[in-house]
Amino acid sequence: MSEEYELDHSPVETQERNGWYSFGVAAEGYSALATAVFFPLILNSLAEYNAYQNSDHTKPCNVSNTDPCDVQIGSHYYDTSSLVFYATSISVLCQFFLFVSLGSLADHGSHRKTFLIMFGVATSVIGLCILLVTKNSLWWLAFIIYMLSNTTYGAAYVFYYAWVPILTRFDQKVIDSEQDEKLTNEEKYTISDMVSNEISGKGFFYSYVTAVCELIVAAGIAMYLGSGENYGLTAAYPLQIGVALASIWQLVILLAYTNRHLKARPGTLAF
Pairing of strands 56-60, 69-73: unpaired
**For residues 5 and 264, what is the distance between their CA atoms, to the nearest angstrom?**
13
Output the tens digit of pLDDT for each of the chain's 271 residues. Answer: 344 555 667 888 999 999 999 999 999 988 888 888 999 999 988 888 888 787 778 788 876 666 788 888 887 888 887 888 888 888 888 888 877 777 777 666 668 888 899 999 999 999 999 999 999 999 999 999 999 999 999 989 888 988 888 889 889 999 889 888 888 889 988 999 999 999 999 999 999 999 999 999 999 999 999 999 999 999 999 999 999 999 999 999 999 999 999 988 765 333 3
**For residues 45 and 71, what is the distance between their CA atoms, to the nearest angstrom?**
11
DSSP 69: E
What are the φ and ψ backbone dihedral angles of 160, each rounded to 5 degrees? -60, -50
27 Cβ neighbours under 8 A, 6+ residues apart: 120, 123, 153, 156, 157, 160, 207, 250, 254
Domains of the chain in sequence order: 4-270 (1.20.1250.20)
Whole-model pTM? Answer: 0.86
Q: Hey, which residues does 56 pair with through a beta bridge? A: 53
